[in-house]
Amino acid sequence: MNNRSWTLADAAPLQTGRFRTLQAPLRNWQKESSFIGREQRIGDASKPNSQVREPGPKTSRLLAVFHYHEVTKMNLDWRVCSRARLSRDARFDGKFFIGVRTSGVYCRPICPAPTAKEKNVRYFPTAAAAAEAGFRPCLRCRPECSPGTPAWLGTSNTVLRALRLIGESALEDGGVEELAERLGVGSRHLRRLFLRHLGATPSAVAQTRRLHFAKKLIDETRLPMNQVALASGFGSVRRFNAGIRKVYHRTPTQIRRLVRQTTVQPENEYFFHLRFRPPYNWQGMLAFLAPRATPGVEVVDLGKYRRSISLDGQDGYFEVSLDQEHNSLDVRVQFGEPRALFFIIERIRAMFDLNADWPAIVRSLRIDPVLAQRVEAYPGLRTPGCWNGFELAVRAILGQQITVKGATALAGRLVKMFGRPFAPADGITHLFPPAEVLADARLAGMPEARAETIRALARAVCDGQISFDRIVELDRFLATLCEIPGIGTWTAQYVAMRALGEPDAFPSGDIGLLRALNLSNPRALEERAEAWRPWRAYATMYLWNVRGEAKTRAGRPALSKTKNMTMDEASSYENFSMAK
């Protein structure tokens, strides 16, 4: 058993009611110290409520079936976990969790607490799985702060989308049944997929996320407890109190007292640390975002990114900067409605690609000599997401066949004309105009056909034909998008890459990519890109970057790494579009 990776199936009994107690009888698999399966959830987890816990025996039966029929390809085995744990390796943070039998808590691999003996630990793919096995979150390493689930080869698309949906709604609306229905699968099947890939049921994952977010709000903000309860999706203060007490054996107030908050935060202002697994190329991220920042709405300056936001009639802004020492992005959010914080934080995590699993990505990209060079020189480049899908799509259309610089100027004019004035911070003067405003806006400074494409997109969003949130079927979404005259495959793939965070999205007709590899046609590019799957979006980032650097070499002095990374107007993907 030592000679192969441990699968979730090996660990099946961990999730059953029968073996949930820590005194459960030892089996062979337990003696080995246990397993590691798939990756973990979006930075959250903890103990599920009994009311949402799935019945154990069903779980175990399902997993037993997998034991025979599924040969799962594992990223990690327990020896890797063990090494990562003993060396407190931050690159593994969030990729697995450690249940310590002697203390009954579960930890991140970087936990500063004294290291437990191997025979006393178990490894879990997600925090929710550890919680389901009866472990409590550690108060020292705070599992709620770990980076999120990496999207990686082999994880079911259904699970990834379900996770995204849970992230957007916290499973508040209709529970597992509705989630399954939205995904077009049966709820039993969905549960089975979750158990297989995450080691926990959808309910447990959602519950864990709520609880972790609540813990973050207790620790990192001064929000009154009744607001914390609502902001973290508990519905009632009573349920919130009970949930926290059950898992942490303390009241929310007692937990807050443990935290020494030194800075006084202004009202409606919240400060969060969002962890990532190093390396993270923050300079590269800013170098991409800066030339594309919509004037008045987004600002990149002094190593920080900030922008205005509007949600459900409330306006605010957030600012993001790097905390290299703690492998985190520091986020300051100013927003009047604390209930929106969960969504805002999830969106920022996606926007800055905090769940990426660099080692997995790099394995595929290194195969290509051109990429290998780039990856070596600039490790940790992420795929930038966006705050709002509609805004990004508009920006992509504006950029068709003109330079990035030209498109940015055009976006600035559009904002000035149609955006609502709002100036909460330096450099921010407006909110990006919503679809309702652009649906019949008289847009100037661009060909009439392009203006009509933007209006058509805005109308489709207003009609509900297109929604950038809660996308379940990517292909169908992209097909609908391409029905709009003026939006073609290139634009759709770009939207998939940045608005939906599809790691394998690939604008194969992009002339910048063709030039970077000295290829003459998209088909040759597609063939070459097969080897980069499922990380073609990351390869795209590196190739645009290659071009950016070539330009730097030819023309301007390369002052710093940041300068080299600049994907300025030379990254001609916006010079060329597949759109007609």
Would you call 524 helix, strand, or coil by DSSP?
Answer: helix
- Minimum gap (Å) between residue 98 Cβ and Zn ion: 8
The secondary element (H helix, E strand) that includes residue 320 is strand 314-323
Determine the interface stretch with Zn ion among 111-119, 332-340, 416-424, 534-542 (rule: CB under 5 A). Answer: 111-119
- Nearest 5°: the CA angle 268, 390, 450 is 140
- Looking at the Cβ atoms of 83 and 140, the one nearer to Zn ion is 140
Q: Which stretch binds Zn ion (CB under 5 A): 19-27, 131-139, 218-226, 407-415?
A: 131-139
Q: What HEC string does 403-448 produce?
A: CHHHHHHHHHHHHHHHCCECCCCCCCCECCCCHHHHCCCCCCCCCH
Determine the interface stretch with Zn ion among 66-74, 99-107, 280-288, 357-365 (rule: CB under 5 A). 99-107
The CB-based long-range contact list for 80-88 (8 Å cut-off, 24+ gap) reads 80/36, 81/36, 81/109, 81/123, 82/33, 82/118, 84/109, 85/109, 85/115, 85/121, 86/115, 88/112
Cβ atoms 537, 366 nearer than 8 A: no
The one segment of 107-115, 176-184, 386-394, 395-403 that binds Zn ion by CB under 5 A: 107-115
Active site residues: 107, 510
Q: Kindly state whether residue 180 participates in binding Zn ion, applying the rule CB under 5 A.
A: no
Q: Give how far Cα 210 sits from Cα of 188, 190, 225, 301, 420, Å.
A: 22, 20, 14, 33, 33
Nearer to Zn ion, 65 or 113 (CB): 113
Taking the least distance from each CB to Zn ion, the nearer of 108 and 395 is 108
What's the maximum distance between 2 C-alpha atoms anywhere in the chain?
A: 73
Q: DSSP of 200-256, one letter per residue?
A: S-HHHHHHHHHHHHHHHHHHH----HHHHHHHTT-SSHHHHHHHHHHHHSS-HHHHH
Q: Which of 12, 63, 107, 333 binds Zn ion (CB under 5 A)?
A: 107
The CB-of-113 to Zn ion minimum distance in angstroms stands at 5
Among 12, 80, 110, 141, binds Zn ion (CB under 5 A): 141
The binder of Zn ion chosen from 4, 27, 119, 140 (CB under 5 A)? 140
3-state SS assignment for residue 297? coil
- For the bound state, the minimum distance from the C-beta of residue 345 to Zn ion, rounded and expressed in Å, comes to 22
130 binds Zn ion (CB under 5 A): no
Of 9, 45, 111, 225, which one interacts with Zn ion (CB under 5 A)? 111
Task: Give the Cβ contact number of residue 13 at 10 Å.
Answer: 21
Q: How far is the CB of 273 from Zn ion (least distance, A)?
A: 16
Nearer to Zn ion, 41 or 450 (CB): 41
The structure tokens listed for 184 are: 């077009």
138 binds Zn ion (CB under 5 A): yes
* Residue of minimal Cβ distance to Zn ion: 138
**Least separation in angstroms between CB 24 and Zn ion:** 22
For residue 83, the tally of other CB atoms under 10 A from its CB is: 13
1 or 113: CB nearest Zn ion: 113
Q: Which is nearer to Zn ion, 138 or 411 (CB)?
A: 138
List 299's β-bridge partners, or say none. 306
By rule CB under 5 A, what count of residues binds Zn ion?
6
The piece of 141-149, 194-202, 421-429, 562-570 that touches Zn ion (CB under 5 A) is 141-149
First to last CA, the chain: 57
Nearest distance, CB of residue 140 and Zn ion, angstroms: 5
Q: Specify the residue, 141 or 457, whose C-beta has the smaller distance to Zn ion.
A: 141
Which of 207, 165, 177 is CA-nearest to residue 49?
207
Task: Please name which of 568, 534, 520 lies closest in space to residue 291, comparing C-alpha atoms.
Answer: 568
| Contacting positions for Zn ion (CB under 5 A) | 107, 111, 113, 138, 140-141
